[in-house]
Chains A and B, each alone.
Chain A
Amino acid sequence: MDARNNFKKLIEEEEAYLMPPPEVARKVDSQISFFDFFGKIIELFIPKILELMVVMTGGAAAQLTEAEVPDFLPEKGEADEDNDIVPGDNHSDKPEDRQLEAPEK
């Protein structure tokens, strides 16, 4: 088709003298800015608003996903062998400590 295609010559001639006015570029740019801004607003606030609506209707807030669980927390069912302290328990197994802990009469 390229051997002689005057359709292509015609569009080349037209493109040579046609230039879109710069205000079209400005309008396109401002519309794109608006859509960009609107998109960012949605990206930022919609999840929060949905979460708020869930809480307001009596649901629970979203659980932390696995990816969000900090590394230093033990996995479910995994015991920490170095640490046998139970929260709220200040008792000790040592006899000398028991004496100290004996209730005052």
Chain B
Amino acid sequence: MTDAEIIQIYLKSRDRRYFHTLYARYSVKIYSRCISLLKDEVSAQDAMQEVFMKLFLNLSKFGERAKFSTWVYSITYNHCIDVIRKRKKNASVFSEDIENTGEIAAEISDSALLEMEVSRLKVVLEAIPVGDKAVLLMKYQDEMQIREIAEALNKSESAVKMKLKRAKEKALKAYRERYTDL
């Protein structure tokens, strides 16, 4: 049964077993993303609980405009970034928070990032600001569209493109600082 079918049945029947099915499908995915961004198990557990409550309370608003997984991940990233922002007392979680993006320079090739050895990729992602990491994860790990990332972060699409570009630059810089073969 697809996620959308489960949601339809749950909304009609209000039978909590269907929500438990969604929990079983997504708990590990949400938890791993929360740990990856928050870097602490207790915060990740709290965040996961709150993400599931947001899902529960907003399930009727899920309009099948996007894939359910994309919707779940955008809520998860949005919540984690909020948590980090509160921790940092509203300081920027991105490397450079520039809203006025202007022209975007030539695209950096994706393959340099996508083909990075897994253990090195992990090190590089830990080395860059958490907001940049979140943008890269949304784009390359969860394959979210620019529009979807923009909605999740409450930013314009051009701002997201610029953030993505800067995040890629940061990641490649962090890689070059640690490894010599690129």
Contacts and interface: CB of A to CB of B under 8 A. Distances in A.
Interface of A: 1, 4-11, 13-15, 18-21, 23-25, 27-29, 31-33, 35-36
Nearest to B33: A11
Nearest to A40: B14
Nearest to B52: A28
Nearest to A20: B31
A14 B141 contact: no
Nearest to B29: A15
Nearest to B34: A20
Given A1-B110, A8-B141, A9-B118, A32 B28 contact: no
A24 B32 contact: no
Contacts of B27: 20, 24-25
B114 interface: yes
Interface in B7-52: 14, 16, 19-20, 23, 27-33, 35-36, 45, 48-49, 52
Interface string B109-130: 0110111111001100100000
Closest 5 interchain pairs by CB?
A7-B141, A7-B140, A20-B31, A14-B32, A28-B52
A3 B117 CA distance: 14
Q: Is the interface of B mostly helix, strand, loop or mixed?
A: helix
Nearest to A27: B49
Given A4-B115, A27-B49, A18 B32 contact: yes
B49 A6 contact: no
A28 B35 contact: no
User: Which among A6, A15, A27, A35 has the highest number of chain B CB atoms within 10 Å?
Assistant: A6
How large, as a class, is the contact surface on chain B?
35 or more
B143 A1 contact: yes
Contacts of A8: 141
A28 B49 contact: yes
16 contacts: A5-B114, A5-B140, A6-B115, A7-B137, A7-B140, A7-B141, A8-B141, A11-B32, A13-B118, A18-B28, A18-B32, A19-B28, A20-B28, A20-B45, A21-B45, A31-B56
Nearest to A3: B114
Contacts of A35: 56-57
Given A7-B121, A19-B28, A28-B49, A14 B115 contact: no
Given A9-B118, A19-B28, A20-B27, A31 B140 contact: no
Contacts of B136: 7
A2 to B, nearest CB: 9
A8 B140 CA distance: 8
A18 B32 CA distance: 6
